[in-house]
Structure formats: structure tokens, C-alpha cells
A and B are shown apart, each in its own frame.
Chain A
Amino acid sequence: MPHIIVENLVKTFQIAQRQPGVWGALRGVMHRNYRQITALDGISFTIEPGELIGYIGPNGAGKSTTVKVLSGILVPDTGRCEILGRVPWKERIAHVAQIGVVFGQRTQLWWDLPVIESFDLLRDIYRVDHHQYAQTRDEMIAILDLESLLDIPVRQLSLGQRMRCDLAAALLHRPSILFLDEPTIGLDVVSKLAVRDFIKRLNQERDVTVILTTHDMDDIEALCTRVMVIGQGQILSDGPLENLRARVTTERRLIVDLEEIEDITDPDASVVLRDGHRVHLTFDPDRIATADLIARITAQHPVRDLFVENTPIEEIISRLYAENH
């Protein structure tokens, strides 16, 4: 049975529009114009236990709104949503006891309290059994390397340290589903890798279903078996990363470092970028085999080095958006 079933979810917001200037402010007192914004425009998907899903899309596409509906914070206008057999906003309390949520730009830790006290407080708020709590807490401290942070008030932690603590905090009650809303935002490379590594372990060793929204395509490539792309409130694409790539473009890139600065012309490949000794070519592997192309070019030009790349995922995504506008 799927963990999460979403069918035709629609959510609109009313936003009061204000006219600029003093006159506009005065008129706003008497009469308000409302603008309707459709954040979710009929979204459907199902998620099986143990999946690790990347949920991506530009700012304002509806990612956070989806996460907020799934975590029982927002009530959608129409549509069906069932998580572990419950409708989130109808049985909010029972539902949230089974999920963990991390919003990357916020913290759920108590600002003035040492980290460990926040953990203890969450134990009581979630009414976790003391023995189970001690076990989970110690595991989290070990995996995320939190030992040295426990006695520090949260306000004194760096962003990366705080995010590690926030991840632990979201898991103390052993949720079976974890929502991560931009968990790597603003983190340095080392912290990013630590967070990524942790998410992967969590998913593989504990079988936690993870839904990850992010703008960082490296997160997606490193972690996700399945990617959902949302744009203007609709799901544009849903499937493994390779499918997405195949759907948008099969193109590959050949990057050649030449011995001398010269031009490459080939009937099956086109030059997209020239940077000193380095030349970037794109080609379609269905029209010409990669090995053949390389053989041809190395026969014609003295080559120092070369390598083949997939089209960067950023480019794929932006093409997908362009197609749908």
C-alpha cells in the first residue's frame, strides 16, 4: 500500500492587493481588491514506503505549499490526500505524530535553550517513551556528530550546526515519513555533504520515506531515485532522473582539450563553447556512437585530454520549464 496518495489537489490563496502611494492606502481602507493565486492546480501522485523523492521547481511553483498540505498545516480547496491512511488536516494530531518536518530556513529548536534541552522538550511534546528516546537520541548524536554541540544555546550555533541539530530534532519521535523543505539552503560544502550523507543513510538503513524539496541539483543527483518537477502548480514530470533526462534531451557533451588552438568541425556534433584550448561539443548518441565521434576527432586533431558529460541537470530543468510556458 502506498504511504502517500494525492489526487487532484487544488489550493488557492487570496491576496489583498494594495495600490501604491498614500491615495492607494486610503482607498485600501474602503475597498480591497483581491487577487487569486493558484498555488496547486490539480496535483496527483503516489509514494511508496521507502522512496526518496526529489521535489523540485522554481520559486513560487508550489513546492512548499505541497509540503504544508501534506504535513497538515494547510487545508486544500479540493482534492484527496491520504498519508498512512489518514487525511492530514482532518486527523492532524494523529498524523503529525507519524511525520517529521524540517524547513531549511527555520528552526524548530528553542532559541534560548541548549540543544539537548530542546531535544528533551520534544521528547515530552511528542510523548516518546524515555527508553526509546534515549536510544534514538544517542544514535542521532553519533551519526550527526552532535556531541560537542549539545550544551550550546541554539542561537550560538552556525547554520550548518543548527541544520544538523534540526535534522536530529525532526527524527526523535521516529517518524516513518520525513519532509525536508530545502534542508541544504545556505550551507557550506562540508555541511551539505554531511546532510546529504545523513539523508541517504536514513532512507537506506531505516527505510524512512523522504520527500526532499531543493534548488540544489547536486542534492537530487546524489540522493533521489525519483524526481517530481512542479511548475505553476502542476506536476510537469515524475519519474527516475534518467527518464527526465531522456524526455527532455538525449544530448551529451564532449569536452576536448586540444594541443593547439584550432577549430573543430564535424557533421554529427556542434560546437557550443570555445575557451582557449578547450572546446565543448554537443552530439546525439543515437546518431553517432560516442566512441566513433571520439575516434574521428582524435584522428583529425592532436588532443591532450577529453571527457564526456551528460547535459547538466540545471539545463534540463530549465528546458522543461521553457517547454511548459
Chain B
Amino acid sequence: MPKITNRTSSFAIRSYIAVLSARFRTLLQYRAAAFAGFGTQLFWGLIRVMIFEAFYRSSTAPQPMTADEVITYIWLGQAFLVLIPYQGADPDVRAMVRSGNVVYELVRPTNLYFFWYSRAIAQRTAPGVFRALPMFITASLFFNLQMPPSFSATCAWLVSMLFAVLISAAITNLLSISLLWTISGEGLGVLLGSLTWLFSGIIIPLLFFPDWAQTAINILPFRYLMDIPFRFYLGHISPEQIWYHLPFQIAYLIALITAGHLILTRGIRRLVAQGG
């Protein structure tokens, strides 16, 4: 009997780090997509900056942000675009569910939620490597992207950015899990996609929305993906406010992970053997 007694009692986290880094490395190979993405985002960034410049020139009413702040906010949005889960589920999981290869995911000695969550983190960060940095450099050299006003603002920004990644991956994972129900997963993807698009601040900084919309914006988790981190960057929210916002980010993260976990457990149970 080949008993497996000499298995090391290494931490379970090894499995998750392995899949995260493998996925990350694979995604880094898509360099052409990164360059194309960079070009597109530069183009859209310029258009949006021009629109806001025209707006500020024609408006005399007091605005919630200064023109310089808005320009930096826009370039940050362009740099971190891939962070928001606007294109829906993890394409890898989508392909596996369609082909039925997902059965192999279920014979791994890992918690499937966190296995897929690790993939989602790679999905939300790797494509940004070749876009965020060049965009940062280009925009700060040529297009008036400002640096954070203080060291504490930078720290607050980085902390809230880290949780933005984690929340974004949890939303991505929720969409991946929904594939176990709908196979194609397009419906929920489109719905959540447009919600994140609108309420994260990527189209218009959230402070420009009318007062009646602010309640909805404040309740939804999407502002923690971009708007709040970016305003920490600008110093528009003072760094000490991180102690107010961080608990919310953590709460949203826990809620999203718990929900995803529950849905996945039920999803596996009703999993129909695709193709016998």
C-alpha cells in the first residue's frame, strides 16, 4: 500500500498562491492586448479630460472638485481600468464550465471558492501591470496627473487600493460562480458590469452625481473600487478618514465572500453532469 504519510503538513495557502501566480504569469503573456489597451485608454482619457475642461470653462457654479483634481482622477481611472470587473466572470472559469473541464476543479484538495478567488485576483491585477505603470508615467509627464499631496495620503490610498482589488476579485468570483447556474453567465455579467461602470466613478467622478443619487452610491460597494481610493490619493478625503472607510471595505469584502461561498456550495450540489 503506497500510504501517503510523508505528505508535509505545509499550509494550505500554498495551493492558492500556486494557482494565483500561475494565472498571473499566463496573463502577463498577453502583451499585445496590454499595448492595445494602453492606447485605447490613453485615447479615452484625453477625450474625457477635454470634456471636463470644456465643462469647467463654461460653468460658473461652484463644483465639488477642482479641475486639476478631476484631471488626476480621470487619469487614475484610466490607469486602473482593468481593476474593475466590468467584463464579467473569469474567462478561464467560463471556458471550463462550458467544456466540462470544471470537474477537475472539483477533484482538487482545495476550497473551490478560494481556489477561484485566487484566480480572480490574478485576473484583476496582472493585465494592469503593463497598463497602470506606463499610464502613470505618461499622464504625469504630459497630461497633468498630480502626485499625492502627502505621505499619509499615499498610504491611505494604497491601503484602500489593496481592498479595492480584493473586493473587485470577490465580485469577479461571484460572476464566475453564477456560471454554474446559467452556463453563459452573460445576464448577470452585463447587469453587474453596468452597475460597476456607473457607480465606481470611472465615467464621472461620483461627487458630480445629483444629490438624490448619492444615497444609492453610498450604499453600493462599487465606490470602494475607484472613487474612494482616488479621493484618498487626491487628498480630497483626509488620510485619517481611512479609519472610517476601511471597516466598510472590510465589511463589503466579507459580505461578498460569504455570499459567493454560499452560492457556490449550492451550485455544486445542483451541478448537472454536462455531457454524462
Binding site for B on A (CB under 8 A): 13, 15, 39, 49, 59-60, 64-65, 68, 71-75, 92-94, 96-99, 101, 103, 105-108, 110, 112-113, 117, 121, 124-129, 132, 173-176, 206-208
Count of B residues near A, CB < 8 Å? Answer: 34
B104 near A208 with CB under 8 A, answer no
B26 near A113 with CB under 8 A, answer yes
B19 near A121 with CB under 8 A, answer yes
Residue of A nearest to B106 (CB): A73
Residue of A nearest to B10 (CB): A127
Selected contact of A71 from candidates B7, B107, B111, B275, CB within 8 Å: B107
B4 near A97 with CB under 8 A, answer yes
Residue of B nearest to A98 (CB): B4
* Assembly CA distance A211 to B111 (angstroms): 26
From B31-39, B139-147, B250-258, B265-273, the one touching the partner chain is B265-273
Selected contact of B109 from candidates A65, A74, A125, CB within 8 Å: A125
* Assembly CA distance A265 to B99 (angstroms): 57
B106 near A207 with CB under 8 A, answer no
Selected contact of B276 from candidates A64, A110, A129, A208, CB within 8 Å: A64
Binding site for A on B (CB under 8 A): 1-4, 6-8, 10, 12, 14-15, 17-19, 22, 26, 29, 99-101, 103-104, 106-111, 269, 271-273, 275-276
* Assembly CA distance A15 to B273 (angstroms): 11
Q: Inside 8 A of B269's CB, which chain A residues have their CB?
A: 75
B18 near A68 with CB under 8 A, answer no
* 13 residue pairs from A and B, CB less than 8 Å apart: A13-B273, A49-B1, A71-B106, A75-B269, A93-B111, A99-B107, A106-B100, A106-B104, A125-B18, A127-B15, A128-B7, A129-B8, A176-B1
Q: How far is the CB of B91 from chain A (nearest CB, A)?
A: 12
A106 near B18 with CB under 8 A, answer no
Secondary structure at chain A's binding surface: helix, strand, loop or mixed? loop
Selected contact of A103 from candidates B22, B104, B108, B110, CB within 8 Å: B104
Q: Inside 8 A of A208's CB, which chain B residues have their CB?
A: 2
B15 near A124 with CB under 8 A, answer yes
A176 near B2 with CB under 8 A, answer yes
* Assembly CA distance A132 to B10 (angstroms): 14
* Assembly CA distance A93 to B107 (angstroms): 8
Tell me which of A72, A110, A117, A127 has the highest count of chain B C-beta atoms within 10 A of its own C-beta.
Answer: A127
Selected contact of A65 from candidates B8, B107, B276, CB within 8 Å: B276
Tell me which of B108, B109, B271 has the highest count of chain A C-beta atoms within 10 A of its own C-beta.
Answer: B109
Known contacts A96-B107, A207-B1: A121-B22 contact under CB 8 Å: yes
* Assembly CA distance A173 to B29 (angstroms): 29
